[in-house]
Structure 1
Protein backbone atom coordinates (compact mmCIF):
# COMPACT_ATOMS: atom_id res chain seq x y z
CA UNK A 1 0.00 0.00 0.00
CA UNK A 2 1.37 3.43 -1.00
CA UNK A 3 1.91 6.23 1.44
CA UNK A 4 -0.30 9.34 1.18
CA UNK A 5 1.44 12.28 -0.49
CA UNK A 6 -0.36 14.83 1.68
CA UNK A 7 1.15 15.37 5.09
CA UNK A 8 -0.49 16.93 8.11
CA UNK A 9 1.46 20.17 7.55
CA UNK A 10 0.24 20.47 3.94
CA UNK A 11 -3.36 19.96 5.04
CA UNK A 12 -3.06 22.68 7.69
CA UNK A 13 -1.58 25.16 5.20
CA UNK A 14 -4.36 24.45 2.72
CA UNK A 15 -7.00 24.99 5.45
CA UNK A 16 -5.41 28.33 6.38
CA UNK A 17 -5.35 29.42 2.73
CA UNK A 18 -9.04 28.57 2.28
CA UNK A 19 -9.99 30.34 5.52
CA UNK A 20 -8.07 33.45 4.44
CA UNK A 21 -9.83 33.45 1.07
CA UNK A 22 -13.26 33.11 2.77
CA UNK A 23 -12.46 36.00 5.17
CA UNK A 24 -11.44 38.17 2.24
CA UNK A 25 -14.72 37.44 0.42
CA UNK A 26 -16.72 38.21 3.61
CA UNK A 27 -14.97 41.58 4.02
CA UNK A 28 -15.58 42.40 0.35
CA UNK A 29 -19.30 41.63 0.71
CA UNK A 30 -19.50 43.68 3.92
CA UNK A 31 -17.94 46.71 2.16
CA UNK A 32 -20.44 46.32 -0.73
CA UNK A 33 -23.36 46.18 1.71
CA UNK A 34 -22.09 49.27 3.55
CA UNK A 35 -21.71 51.15 0.27
CA UNK A 36 -25.30 50.29 -0.64
CA UNK A 37 -26.55 51.64 2.73
CA UNK A 38 -24.46 54.83 2.47
CA UNK A 39 -24.94 56.29 -1.03
CA UNK A 40 -22.54 59.21 -0.44
CA UNK A 41 -19.68 57.23 -1.89
CA UNK A 42 -16.05 57.82 -1.01
CA UNK A 43 -15.38 60.28 1.80
CA UNK A 44 -12.82 63.00 1.08
CA UNK A 45 -10.64 65.06 3.36
CA UNK A 46 -9.76 68.60 2.30
CA UNK A 47 -7.03 70.90 3.56
CA UNK A 48 -8.10 74.43 4.49
CA UNK A 49 -5.98 77.59 4.27
CA UNK A 50 -4.50 77.01 7.74
CA UNK A 51 -3.35 73.49 6.86
CA UNK A 52 -6.07 71.71 8.89
CA UNK A 53 -8.02 68.71 7.56
CA UNK A 54 -11.73 69.46 7.04
CA UNK A 55 -14.62 67.56 5.44
CA UNK A 56 -16.00 70.54 3.46
CA UNK A 57 -14.46 71.44 0.11
CA UNK A 58 -12.73 74.84 -0.18
CA UNK A 59 -14.56 77.80 -1.69
CA UNK A 60 -13.33 78.29 -5.29
CA UNK A 61 -13.91 82.06 -4.99
CA UNK A 62 -11.16 82.29 -2.34
CA UNK A 63 -8.58 80.85 -4.73
CA UNK A 64 -5.50 83.06 -5.21
CA UNK A 65 -3.96 83.31 -8.67
CA UNK A 66 -0.15 82.93 -8.58
CA UNK A 67 2.07 83.84 -11.50
CA UNK A 68 4.80 81.29 -12.24
CA UNK A 69 7.34 84.09 -12.77
CA UNK A 70 6.80 85.35 -9.19
CA UNK A 71 7.87 82.05 -7.61
CA UNK A 72 11.48 82.28 -6.41
CA UNK A 73 13.43 79.04 -6.27
CA UNK A 74 16.47 79.14 -4.00
CA UNK A 75 17.93 82.17 -2.28
CA UNK A 76 16.93 85.52 -3.76
CA UNK A 77 19.78 87.56 -5.18
CA UNK A 78 21.00 90.55 -3.17
CA UNK A 79 20.24 93.94 -4.53
CA UNK A 80 22.94 96.59 -4.71
CA UNK A 81 21.34 98.65 -1.93
CA UNK A 82 21.75 95.83 0.60
CA UNK A 83 25.55 96.03 0.96
CA UNK A 84 26.61 94.92 4.44
CA UNK A 85 29.40 96.54 6.41
CA UNK A 86 32.35 94.14 6.06
CA UNK A 87 33.86 95.21 9.41
CA UNK A 88 32.37 93.31 12.34
CA UNK A 89 32.94 93.49 16.07
CA UNK A 90 33.45 90.68 18.51
CA UNK A 91 35.20 89.32 21.57
CA UNK A 92 38.15 86.93 21.66
CA UNK A 93 36.92 83.76 23.38
CA UNK A 94 40.17 81.81 23.06
CA UNK A 95 43.62 82.58 21.71
CA UNK A 96 46.81 80.52 22.04
CA UNK A 97 49.78 82.67 21.01
CA UNK A 98 52.19 79.71 21.16
CA UNK A 99 50.14 77.79 18.58
CA UNK A 100 49.08 80.89 16.66
CA UNK A 101 45.31 80.51 16.48
CA UNK A 102 42.14 81.29 18.37
CA UNK A 103 38.42 81.96 18.11
CA UNK A 104 36.38 85.16 18.03
CA UNK A 105 32.69 85.37 18.93
CA UNK A 106 30.70 87.88 16.86
CA UNK A 107 28.65 90.24 19.07
CA UNK A 108 25.84 90.50 16.48
CA UNK A 109 24.95 86.85 15.97
CA UNK A 110 27.12 84.98 18.55
CA UNK A 111 28.82 82.95 15.80
CA UNK A 112 32.32 81.62 16.47
CA UNK A 113 34.97 82.33 13.82
CA UNK A 114 38.45 80.86 13.53
CA UNK A 115 41.32 83.35 13.70
CA UNK A 116 44.96 82.67 12.69
CA UNK A 117 48.00 84.71 13.70
CA UNK A 118 48.60 85.54 10.01
CA UNK A 119 45.27 87.47 9.97
CA UNK A 120 46.13 89.71 12.94
CA UNK A 121 47.03 93.39 12.72
CA UNK A 122 47.42 93.91 16.51
CA UNK A 123 48.40 91.34 19.13
CA UNK A 124 45.35 90.01 20.99
CA UNK A 125 44.63 88.02 24.14
CA UNK A 126 41.48 86.41 25.54
CA UNK A 127 38.49 88.69 26.35
CA UNK A 128 39.77 91.53 24.10
CA UNK A 129 37.16 93.43 22.09
CA UNK A 130 38.20 93.37 18.43
CA UNK A 131 37.03 94.40 14.98
CA UNK A 132 37.51 91.99 12.11
CA UNK A 133 36.44 91.04 8.61
CA UNK A 134 35.28 87.64 7.40
CA UNK A 135 36.93 85.66 4.65
CA UNK A 136 36.04 82.22 3.32
CA UNK A 137 38.60 79.62 4.35
CA UNK A 138 39.03 75.90 3.77
CA UNK A 139 36.64 74.88 6.59
CA UNK A 140 34.32 77.90 6.72
CA UNK A 141 34.54 81.60 7.50
CA UNK A 142 37.73 82.93 9.08
CA UNK A 143 38.33 86.22 10.86
CA UNK A 144 41.01 88.31 9.11
CA UNK A 145 42.39 91.86 9.56
CA UNK A 146 41.77 91.61 13.31
CA UNK A 147 42.35 94.86 15.26
CA UNK A 148 41.97 95.64 18.95
CA UNK A 149 39.28 98.21 19.79
Structure 2
Protein backbone atom coordinates (compact mmCIF):
# COMPACT_ATOMS: atom_id res chain seq x y z
CA UNK A 1 0.00 0.00 0.00
CA UNK A 2 1.44 3.36 -1.08
CA UNK A 3 1.81 6.48 0.97
CA UNK A 4 -0.66 9.30 0.35
CA UNK A 5 0.60 11.95 -2.07
CA UNK A 6 -0.97 14.80 -0.04
CA UNK A 7 1.34 16.30 2.53
CA UNK A 8 0.35 18.49 5.44
CA UNK A 9 1.36 21.71 3.68
CA UNK A 10 -0.62 20.78 0.57
CA UNK A 11 -3.72 20.17 2.72
CA UNK A 12 -3.26 23.53 4.47
CA UNK A 13 -2.86 25.38 1.18
CA UNK A 14 -6.00 23.79 -0.20
CA UNK A 15 -7.95 24.71 2.98
CA UNK A 16 -6.78 28.33 2.71
CA UNK A 17 -7.74 28.46 -0.97
CA UNK A 18 -11.25 27.16 -0.20
CA UNK A 19 -11.61 29.61 2.70
CA UNK A 20 -10.64 32.59 0.50
CA UNK A 21 -13.05 31.43 -2.20
CA UNK A 22 -15.94 31.31 0.32
CA UNK A 23 -15.04 34.75 1.72
CA UNK A 24 -15.00 36.20 -1.79
CA UNK A 25 -18.43 34.72 -2.58
CA UNK A 26 -19.85 36.11 0.71
CA UNK A 27 -18.52 39.60 -0.10
CA UNK A 28 -19.99 39.38 -3.60
CA UNK A 29 -23.43 38.42 -2.24
CA UNK A 30 -23.23 41.18 0.38
CA UNK A 31 -22.51 43.78 -2.32
CA UNK A 32 -25.47 42.52 -4.36
CA UNK A 33 -27.75 42.75 -1.32
CA UNK A 34 -26.63 46.31 -0.52
CA UNK A 35 -26.75 47.51 -4.13
CA UNK A 36 -30.37 48.70 -3.82
CA UNK A 37 -29.70 50.67 -0.62
CA UNK A 38 -26.74 52.70 -1.95
CA UNK A 39 -26.44 56.34 -0.98
CA UNK A 40 -27.80 59.01 -3.27
CA UNK A 41 -25.48 61.38 -5.12
CA UNK A 42 -26.39 64.28 -2.80
CA UNK A 43 -25.33 62.23 0.23
CA UNK A 44 -21.91 61.61 -1.32
CA UNK A 45 -21.09 65.27 -2.05
CA UNK A 46 -18.58 66.95 0.26
CA UNK A 47 -18.08 70.71 0.51
CA UNK A 48 -15.01 72.71 1.49
CA UNK A 49 -15.47 75.64 3.89
CA UNK A 50 -13.46 78.89 3.98
CA UNK A 51 -10.82 77.27 6.22
CA UNK A 52 -10.24 74.36 3.83
CA UNK A 53 -12.09 71.79 5.98
CA UNK A 54 -14.56 69.27 4.52
CA UNK A 55 -18.20 69.56 5.57
CA UNK A 56 -21.52 68.03 4.53
CA UNK A 57 -23.33 71.39 4.40
CA UNK A 58 -23.00 73.73 1.42
CA UNK A 59 -21.32 77.11 2.00
CA UNK A 60 -23.41 80.20 2.76
CA UNK A 61 -23.68 82.31 -0.44
CA UNK A 62 -23.87 85.55 1.58
CA UNK A 63 -20.33 84.93 2.90
CA UNK A 64 -18.94 84.73 -0.64
CA UNK A 65 -15.85 86.89 -1.29
CA UNK A 66 -15.23 88.50 -4.68
CA UNK A 67 -11.64 88.25 -5.90
CA UNK A 68 -10.48 90.25 -8.89
CA UNK A 69 -8.70 88.34 -11.61
CA UNK A 70 -5.90 90.94 -11.75
CA UNK A 71 -4.99 90.21 -8.10
CA UNK A 72 -4.21 86.55 -8.79
CA UNK A 73 -0.53 85.93 -9.46
CA UNK A 74 0.27 82.54 -10.98
CA UNK A 75 3.99 82.97 -11.56
CA UNK A 76 6.78 84.74 -9.78
CA UNK A 77 6.81 88.47 -10.48
CA UNK A 78 9.49 89.82 -12.76
CA UNK A 79 12.44 91.42 -11.03
CA UNK A 80 12.95 95.07 -11.65
CA UNK A 81 16.30 96.05 -13.09
CA UNK A 82 18.54 97.42 -10.33
CA UNK A 83 19.56 101.04 -10.57
CA UNK A 84 23.15 101.74 -11.75
CA UNK A 85 24.14 102.96 -8.25
CA UNK A 86 23.24 99.57 -6.77
CA UNK A 87 25.45 97.72 -9.24
CA UNK A 88 28.65 99.44 -8.08
CA UNK A 89 30.01 97.82 -4.93
CA UNK A 90 33.06 98.38 -2.78
CA UNK A 91 35.40 95.87 -1.23
CA UNK A 92 38.93 95.00 -0.23
CA UNK A 93 41.32 92.87 -2.30
CA UNK A 94 42.07 89.84 -0.12
CA UNK A 95 44.30 88.03 -2.64
CA UNK A 96 45.79 88.92 -6.03
CA UNK A 97 48.41 86.91 -7.93
CA UNK A 98 49.99 89.16 -10.57
CA UNK A 99 51.79 86.29 -12.31
CA UNK A 100 48.53 84.37 -12.82
CA UNK A 101 46.38 87.53 -13.26
CA UNK A 102 43.58 86.65 -10.86
CA UNK A 103 42.49 87.28 -7.30
CA UNK A 104 39.58 87.70 -4.91
CA UNK A 105 37.75 90.72 -3.50
CA UNK A 106 35.79 90.63 -0.23
CA UNK A 107 32.55 92.57 -0.78
CA UNK A 108 31.98 94.96 2.15
CA UNK A 109 28.20 94.77 1.90
CA UNK A 110 27.68 90.99 1.73
CA UNK A 111 31.11 89.77 2.98
CA UNK A 112 31.11 87.50 -0.08
CA UNK A 113 34.38 86.58 -1.79
CA UNK A 114 34.20 87.52 -5.48
CA UNK A 115 36.60 86.35 -8.18
CA UNK A 116 38.46 89.00 -10.19
CA UNK A 117 40.59 88.53 -13.33
CA UNK A 118 43.09 90.97 -14.85
CA UNK A 119 40.73 91.38 -17.84
CA UNK A 120 38.18 93.02 -15.50
CA UNK A 121 40.64 95.61 -14.13
CA UNK A 122 40.58 99.27 -15.16
CA UNK A 123 43.79 99.98 -13.25
CA UNK A 124 46.38 97.83 -11.42
CA UNK A 125 45.45 96.56 -7.94
CA UNK A 126 47.31 94.97 -5.03
CA UNK A 127 46.34 93.09 -1.89
CA UNK A 128 44.53 95.12 0.82
CA UNK A 129 43.55 97.85 -1.71
CA UNK A 130 40.06 99.28 -1.32
CA UNK A 131 38.32 98.97 -4.70
CA UNK A 132 34.99 99.65 -6.37
CA UNK A 133 33.62 97.13 -8.85
CA UNK A 134 30.55 95.73 -10.59
CA UNK A 135 29.42 92.12 -10.30
CA UNK A 136 28.52 89.94 -13.28
CA UNK A 137 27.72 86.25 -13.34
CA UNK A 138 30.49 84.18 -14.89
CA UNK A 139 30.58 80.49 -15.75
CA UNK A 140 31.37 79.44 -12.18
CA UNK A 141 29.76 82.24 -10.19
CA UNK A 142 30.02 86.00 -9.60
CA UNK A 143 32.93 87.84 -11.21
CA UNK A 144 34.10 91.39 -10.46
CA UNK A 145 34.46 93.66 -13.52
CA UNK A 146 35.34 97.35 -14.01
CA UNK A 147 37.56 97.19 -10.91
CA UNK A 148 39.31 100.39 -9.86
CA UNK A 149 40.94 101.57 -6.65
CA UNK A 150 39.11 103.93 -4.30
CA UNK A 151 41.06 106.57 -2.43
TM over 0.5: yes
Q: How does 1:1-12 map to 2 (within 5 A)?
A: 4=4, 6-12=6-12
Pick aligned residue for 2:73 from 61, 64, 71 = 71
TM-score, normalised to structure 1, is: 0.57
Q: Which protein shows a greater Rg?
A: 2
TM-score, normalised to structure 2, is: 0.56
Note closer, same or farther for the CA distance 1:47–1:117 as it changes in structure 2 (3 Å cut). Answer: farther
Matched with 2:130 is 129
Matched with 2:95 is 94
Q: List runs of 5+ in structure 2 lacking aligned partners.
A: 28-42
Asked if the contact 1:92–1:129 (Cα under 8 Å) also holds between the matched residues in 2, the reply is yes
Q: How many residue pairs get matched?
A: 132
Distance (Å, rounded) in 2 between the aligned partners of 1:15 and 1:94: 82
Distance (Å, rounded) in 2 between the aligned partners of 1:67 and 1:12: 67
Q: List runs of 5+ in structure 1 lacking aligned partners.
A: 26-40
3-state secondary structure, aligned to 2:12: helix
CA RMSD of aligned residues (A): 4.3
Matched with 2:141 is 140
Asked if the contact 1:91–1:129 (Cα under 8 Å) also holds between the matched residues in 2, the reply is yes
